[in-house]
Amino acid sequence: MLEDGAGHLWISTGAGISDFDPGSGRFRHYTARDGMAEGDYFVGSAYQSPDGSMYFGSFNSGLTMFHPATVRGDPHPPRWR
């Protein structure tokens, strides 16, 4: 688990990475459909660089790197037919 500059907690899970906003109590979960590595992430395999970039190690697909300030959720997810 890592904390970004905005106070959000980024948590590795068995199915992706979750962003928890303590202020609102909301979670946003990111999976392979959002560009994260497919599969499980290792517990304790996270690093935050001095510039704020985050790195999470996954069991199946290596390393996922992103900067939290650049992650944008889609407020209008596609409708399934």
Q: What is the pLDDT along the chain (81 residues), one digit of tens a residue?
A: 999 999 999 998 888 899 999 999 999 998 878 777 777 888 778 999 999 999 998 887 788 899 998 887 666 666 655
DSSP letters of 10-59?
EEEETTEEEEEETTTTEEEEE-GGGTPPSS-EEEEEEEE-TTS-EEEEET
Residue 38: predicted pLDDT: 75
Q: How far apart are CA 28 and CA 49, in angstroms?
A: 22
In 3D, which of 14, 72, 9 has the Cα closest to residue 40?
14
pTM of the model: 0.82
pLDDT of residue 1: 93
